[in-house]
Amino acid sequence: MRVIEAPSLASLTTLGLGGTCAREIVLECEEDLCGLEEILASSRPFALGLGSNILGLDGHHDVVLVRPAFRDGPEIVAESGDMVQVKAGAGLPLPALLHFCRKEGLSGLEGLAGIPGSVGGACAMNAGSFGTTIGSHLVSCTIWSEGAVRTWAKDSLETGYRHFVPKGLENSFFLVLSATLLLQKDDSMAVGERMKSCLALKKERQPVQARSAGCVFKNPAGDLSAGILLDRAGFRGRKLGGVAMSEQHANFLINTGTGTAAEAASLLKMARAAVAEQFGVELQLEVCTVPEGALVL
């Protein structure tokens, strides 16, 4: 276990915004879980992966970041006909899992190409793209909560659009430690080509090289995505100080290099209000904030 005092949210997130937290606890092996419940008993814990879906707010926060850095796997743990189960640690970068799938000729996750987060973070947000969600391929997740480690089968996990929670832990702090996924055997060249195609489309449509946290608002019900609504409301490329809504995709908030979380919050409030006024749609945040729930739009 590594404990880092006053960690910078700006340095721990892809958006690169935010102040500091009380401390960061990095879990490097399962033995580090011993005593974690006691350590977190009087704190405000926040589970952190690779910080690719996080908007850290300015200032100092009485929050303890907990980062499971288990990078074991990926490894094939079971096979049945053309179906294969692959297990990966929560701290493993998602691109590393996709590289393994391409090399081994395992299909199912190609649509996630270009998503920069960790396996644990992808599970916790039920990350998805191009019609693929990681939750739809889950066999089980190993999860820590309230001092105990337990493996939760898929039917005990509640998943939906950018939603994941073990049933019964809706109001509890938990950590994803590892995930086992069901994938299908395929030709490795074909898997690689599909990944390449998805990544090319992302680069064409999204600012994948910019400092961003991915889509900031969830897509509402109906035919129009958040990106289209924001575009029609005039927010494609809209700037405020050192932050902007991307020229490529209006639902991507980017940090141009000098941005602050206060500027980001103001721009998001303006964008949400404009969409509500013009289209009667109340956009909801997809990006997670630290502190949790502290940003009211």
Full-model pTM? 0.94
238/245 Cα distance (integer angstroms):
5
β-pair partners for 296: none
Cβ contact 20:6 at 8 Å: yes
23/265 Cα distance (integer angstroms):
24
Residue 294 has pLDDT above 90, yes or no: no
269/106 Cα distance (integer angstroms):
42
Residues 147-156: pLDDT tens digits?
Answer: 999 999 999 9
pLDDT for 62: 96
DSSP letter assigned to residue 218: P
**Cα torsion 135, 141, 147, 148: sign:** positive
Residues 53-98: pLDDT tens digits?
Answer: 999 999 999 999 999 999 999 999 999 999 999 999 999 999 999 9
278/42 Cα distance (integer angstroms):
44
Cβ contact 18:55 at 8 Å: yes
Residue 297 has pLDDT above 90, yes or no: no
**Known catalytic residues?**
162, 215, 286
In degrees, to the nearest 5, what angle opens at C-alpha 67 toward C-alphas 13 and 20? Answer: 50
Residues 116-146: pLDDT tens digits?
Answer: 999 999 999 999 999 899 999 999 999 999 9
**Residue 116: HSE in the Cβ half-sphere, 13 Å Cα cutoff:** 18
